[in-house]
Amino acid sequence: MIFLNQIIQGVLLGGYYALIACGLSFMFSVMRIINLAHGSLAILAAYALFELADRFDVSPFLGLVVVVPAMALVGAGLQRAVLERSARGGLLVPVLSTFGLSIVIDNLLFQQFGADTRSLAPYIGDLSYDSWSLTDDIAIGKLAALTMATAIVLLGGIQLFLNRTQFGRMIRATAEDADTVGLVGVNARRVNALAAAIAMATVAISGAFLAMRATFDPYAGALQLIFAFEASVIGGAGSLWGTLFGGIVLGVAQSLGASVSPQGFFIAGHVVFLVALFLRIYFGDFGPRLRRLARRPA
Amino acid sequence: MSASPVVVVERWTRESRVALAVAALAAVLLALGPLWLSANLVDRLTTLFVYVILAVMWNALVGYCGLVSIGQQAFFGLGAYFAVRLADSGLSVYPSLFVAAVIVGVLSLPLSAIMLRLRGGEFAIGMWVVSELAHLLVNLDTLINGETGTSLIALNAYEIGLRRALTYWCAFVAMVGLLAVVFVLLRGPTGAAIQAIRDNEQAAESIGVRVTRAKRTIFVLAAFGAGLAGALWVATAVTFQPKTYFSPQWTAYMIFMALVGGLGTFEGAILGAVVFFAIEAWFGAFGVWYLVGLGAAALVFALALPRGVWGWVEDKTALRLLPVGYRVKFLGAVGLAPNDPAS
């Protein structure tokens, strides 16, 4: 029963990882760029929500109405100022420039807010600790369930947006071949700016959930980037539903690892990531294959 | 008199011969450092030597292999850890620094089988995960006491002045040795291979360059170098706290040094280390703003001047002080012999 509980909690934790990985995965699939400032930007959004809640008594959910568009603007600006120029420089430059950017963001946050850890938990009332008890041993936290639901809605929404709308088609076409879409009248720069804006909007949402479910500090971004990256690699880079699958695998591994030893939480996550990487390299992309397997009736 | 344009392929020029002579003279003076320099200066030069090692090793990986790693602190930390571990198990302190680096190099070999299959950002963060994992595993060793850390106690066997000189000489030998290895490697067939890979991997493979083998050579060398740097660092700092050694800040320093000096230029990495050393001495006290500045500099250089200061100098002046490539020189017009006074 305790074992089952570990798995259920791990799956729910996976919802958060899918949420934070969503933007990273989306950006990679559209622009072929891994944004190393991803985690730092999520923390930036978390601080913005904290400031709104702390100074102006704005509930974090209401705060998102301001912070999501603000982060979308940051995303479009980032695309214009940094990512676009980086992508032209080949494979190396985006890594170097976004890593530099993450150092700047982390340390500016530290300069502004100091080393204290913060959390949005005090501003969301009983949502932060309320749960539904299924049995004596198993309880499902309301916030964790909300996180999972948000992840599913967000991933599904982006999928629908990409598949069914004009803008979605433009984004996919630009990802395929930015030069050719120019010939048929698509402004590739504007499309990429829009894609970056969407990615950063999801980053704002994941920052909110990070801050509600746990504490954060100015340097917490690096670990969020690593979790996001692990989830998206386990799920098969660039695939949105794969990201949810990868997040759940990562969450379950960490949850089971934590039941072995306190350090086991992180170790198990990293080990599962490396195993997934190994399998992908020597046996092909296993995320899609497992998903096909899961769809097959037992 | 030949009828075709006279083309000379040259490697050494007058400037580069002078530069090598100056470098050799500097090396001799530095080798005798502890005999004529103040204790403070000896300590600071030891630090500089470690920075040069880090910059040159990271630059070799990035500038010549086209692989940006955010996880070289894995090898840096492991080098320090193994040095502490070996010294604790009874091996003499100074040999254990070098043995530790060899162990790190050997460990990096199986790792390369997975990591070298990744590209771009995936390789970068993949290495970062490796360093996080290495950090966690080192913490499991009871000798280390988790994040509290431990010290290289065996150093107490040496009197402070002698210890300073020995550590200095170890760092100096390590730096000169690694510089020589990289210099010779880059000038030889492996150097041609990895520079071809950097410029275009597919094209290099198509003309028969063994891409994987060349990359693995540099990957292992870079791991060994970073491991040695970590071992030397623990010999100067004495204390080993896992958190400070496995910090991505080290990679930030390496990126800054290699980017500012010049990615893919041999002299640039050394220049970058010296620049970083000076900036740290002047601005290190500014703490957070200093780090913001380092990050911003990396961002600006990556976008505006990706080949760094030295790359810019090379492009403008064709100056090569320590040449690892060749250059083709066209002497005069058709029909003139190289020694013709008219050319």
Q: What ipTM was reported for this prediction?
A: 0.83
pLDDT class for A294, splitting at 50, 70, 90? low
Chain A contact for B127, CB < 8 A?
no
Q: What is the pLDDT of residues B305-341, one digit of tens each?
A: 877 787 777 777 766 666 666 666 666 544 444 444 4
Nearest chain B Cα distance for residue A101, angstroms: 6
Is B50 within a domain?
A: yes
Percent of the residues in chain B that have a pLDDT greater than 70, as a whole number:
89
- What CATH number does the domain containing B214 carry? 1.10.3470
Nearest chain A alpha carbon to B295: A100
Q: What is the pTM of this model?
A: 0.85
Pick the CATH number of A2-295 from 3.40.1350, 3.40.30, 1.10.10, 1.10.3470: 1.10.3470
Handedness of CA B231, B234, B240, B242 (dihedral sign): negative
DSSP B131-196: HHHHHHHHHHSGGGTGGG-EE-GGGGGS-HHHHHHHHHHHHHHHHHHHHHHHHHHHHSHHHHHHHH
The boundaries of the domain holding residue B219 are: 6-331
Q: Which residues of chain A from 202 to 231 reach within 8 Å of chain B, CB to CB?
A: 222, 225-226, 229-230
Contacts of B173 (CB under 8 A, 6+ apart): none
The closest of A203, A264, A214 to A74, measured between CA atoms, is A203
Interatomic CA distance for residues B37 and B100, integer angstroms: 29
Q: Provide the domain count of chain B.
A: 1
DSSP B283-337: HGGGTHHHHHHHHHHHHHHHHH-TTHHHHHHHHHH---SS--S-EEEEESSTT--
Nearest chain B Cα distance for residue A226, angstroms: 7
Q: Are strands A139-141 and B6-10 parallel, antiparallel or unpaired?
A: unpaired
Q: Which residues of chain A from 134 to 173 reach within 8 Å of chain B, CB to CB?
A: none
Q: Which chain A residues have a beta carbon less than 8 Å from that of B298?
A: 96-97, 99-100, 103
Q: Which chain A residues have a beta carbon less than 8 Å from that of B289?
A: 107, 111
- DSSP letter, residue B5: P
Tokens 């083309």 belong to which residue? B7
Interhelix angle A2-31/A38-56, rounded to 10 degrees, is 110
Dihedral angle computed from the Cα positions of residues B79, B84, B89 and B93, in that order, rounded to the nearest 10 degrees: 90
**CB-nearest partner of B66 from A34, A36, A92:** A92
- DSSP letter, residue B3: S
Is B126 within a domain?
A: yes
Is B1 within a domain?
A: no
The one-letter amino acid code at A144 reads: A
Percent of the residues in chain A that have a pLDDT greater than 70, as a whole number:
94
pLDDT recorded at residue B133: 93
Q: Are A277 and B126 in contact (CB under 8 A)?
A: yes
Nearest chain B Cα distance for residue A296, angstroms: 31
Contacts of B314 (CB under 8 A, 6+ apart): B262, B265, B307, B320
Contacts of A104 (CB under 8 A, 6+ apart): B292, B295, B296, B299
Q: Which helix H or strand E contains B115, and what residues bound it? A: helix B93-115
pLDDT recorded at residue B338: 45
Question: What does the block give as tokens for A287?
Answer: 């995320």
Q: What is the pLDDT of residues A183-197, one digit of tens each?
A: 888 888 888 899 999
Q: Are A34 and A279 in contact (CB under 8 A)?
A: no
Query: Considering only A156-170, B165-179, B257-271, which range has the smallest mean pLDDT?
Result: B257-271
- Find the farthest-apart pair of alpha carbons in chain B and give their distance in angstroms, rounded: 78
pLDDT class for A128, splitting at 50, 70, 90? confident
Q: What is the mean pLDDT of residues B118-146?
A: 87
CB contact under 8 A, A34 and B121: yes
Q: Are A219 and A119 in contact (CB under 8 A)?
A: no
CB contact under 8 A, A91 and B299: no
Is B134 within a domain?
A: yes
